[in-house]
């Protein structure tokens, strides 16, 4: 039985914060994806390799079995839907929150109270739709792929739904966080078929990740 494993990671914070978890499982990656242009990185374990993909593509690679497992933010998983994915561990890494923000001068509370139709720009249309529907606020959602912070500044939208960690991006753009929707962290995602066919190789890694993550709480 082929027990080789492919792990999908995005470069940047997810790669950086997954390295210590891999080390806890006895696996090291010597290439740095920020330096190297390689998209497939070998590891110290000859049967385990890492593929570098866009953060929002991790669930797709794992869903179709092009990668056996991966690490993805809850934000990304909620938009993807999680189909075909087993999500055994909250890794407690790449933490932030999903929030609603508006321009410093915008009176969000009274706009919501008056039942005005709010224009909301976001990459996270599913989360945003559910959040405002639950509050009974009517919204026009404008899908963006990045730089959401610009939306209210140029009159594209009244509000944005985006990830916030330190708050410095909002401050630098004169935006104010008016609602926190949910806490975000990254999860381990495993292809459902691989979990069965490659359990022998996967299980110890999942357990090592679980132990290392529980120490991070
Ligand atoms: O950057 P790229 O377009 O390639 O993809 P991506 O933004 O999806 O990937 P990446 O690597 O930036 O983020 C991967 C995951 O990290 C996300 O899916 C989140 O789960 C998690 N994460 C944690 C964050 C942040 N913190 C974060 N601060 N993702 C993005 N941000 C951005 C945020 O969108 C905003 O523009 O950082 C800015 C806010 O940061 P502060 O510190 O100024 O508040
Ligand atoms: Mg980013």
Same domain, 100 and 179: yes
Same domain, 88 and 100: no
Q: In the prediction, which pLDDT does 66 show?
A: 98
Could you give the CA distance from residue 138 to residue 22 in angstroms, rounded to a whole number? 44
Same domain, 10 and 86: yes
Q: In the prediction, which pLDDT does 187 show?
A: 98
Could you give the CA distance from residue 157 to residue 36 in angstroms, rounded to a whole number? 38
Taking only the tens of pLDDT, the chain with its 217 residues reads 558 999 999 999 999 999 999 999 999 999 999 999 999 999 999 999 999 999 999 999 999 999 999 999 999 999 999 999 999 999 999 999 999 999 999 999 999 999 889 999 999 999 999 999 999 999 999 999 999 999 999 999 999 999 999 999 999 999 999 999 999 999 999 999 999 999 999 999 999 999 999 998 7
In the beta sheet, which residues pair with residue 150?
none
Q: Which residue do the tokens 């739904």 mark? A: 161
Same domain, 103 and 84: no
Same domain, 26 and 69: yes
Length of the chain: 217
- 9: closest CA among 43, 54, 45, 44? 54
List the structure tokens of 126.
Answer: 């599913």
Same domain, 125 and 165: yes
Structural domain for 190, as ranges: 5-94+185-214
Could you give the CA distance from residue 147 to residue 121 in angstroms, rounded to a whole number? 10
Bridge-based pairing of strands 85-90 and 186-191 is antiparallel
Same domain, 189 and 83: yes
Q: Which ranges of the chain would DSSP assign to H, the alpha helix? A: 13-24, 58-63, 74-80, 108-113, 125-135, 150-153, 168-172, 192-197, 199-214
Same domain, 192 and 208: yes
Cβ–ligand 1 distance for 75 under 6 Å, the answer: yes
Domain of 59: which CATH number?
3.40.190.10
Same domain, 151 and 79: no
What is the CA(137)–ligand 1 centre distance, in A?
Answer: 26
Q: In the prediction, which pLDDT does 2 show?
A: 58
Asked if residues 41 and 59 have their Cβ atoms less than 8 Å apart, the reply is no
Same domain, 78 and 12: yes
Same domain, 45 and 16: yes
Q: How do residues 71-100 score in pLDDT, each as one tens digit?
A: 999 999 999 999 999 999 999 999 999 999
Q: Give, in degrees to the nearest 5, the angle at Cα 89 between 131 and 75.
A: 30
Could you give the CA distance from residue 116 to residue 31 in angstroms, rounded to a whole number? 52
Give 141's contacts (C-beta < 8 A, 6+ positions apart). 120, 121, 122, 125, 128, 129
Domain count, the chain: 2
Residue in 94, 151, 174, 188 to alter for ligand 1 test, most ligand atoms within 8 A of Cβ: 94
Cβ–ligand 1 distance for 189 under 6 Å, the answer: no
Cβ–ligand 1 distance for 57 under 6 Å, the answer: no
Same domain, 143 and 85: no
């Amino acid at each position: 039985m082929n027990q080789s494993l492919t792990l999908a990671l995005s470069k940047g914070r997810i790669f950086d914060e997954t390295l210590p978890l891999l080390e806890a499982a006895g696996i090291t990656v010597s290439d740095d994806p920020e330096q190297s242009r390689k998209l497939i990185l070998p590891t110290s374990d000859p049967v385990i390799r890492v593929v570098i993909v866009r953060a929002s593509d991790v669930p797709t690679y794992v869903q179709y079995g092009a990668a056996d497992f991966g690490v993805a933010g809850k934000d990304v998983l909620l938009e993807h839907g999680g189909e075909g994915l087993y999500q055994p561990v909250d890794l407690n890494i790449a933490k932030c929150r999903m929030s609603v923000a508006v321009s410093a001068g915008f009176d969000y509370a009274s706009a919501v109270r008056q039942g005005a139709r709010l224009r909301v720009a976001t990459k996270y249309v599913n989360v945003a739709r559910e959040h405002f529907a639950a509050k009974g606020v009517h919204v026009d959602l404008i899908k963006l792929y990045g730089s959401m912070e610009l939306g209210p500044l140029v009159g594209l939208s009244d509000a944005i739904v985006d990830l916030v960690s330190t708050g410095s991006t909002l401050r630098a753009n004169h935006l104010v966080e008016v609602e926190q929707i949910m806490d975000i962290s990254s999860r381990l995602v495993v292809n459902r078929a691989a979990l069965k066919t490659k359990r022998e190789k996967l299980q110890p890694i999942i357990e090592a990740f679980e132990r290392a993550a529980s120490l991070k709480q």
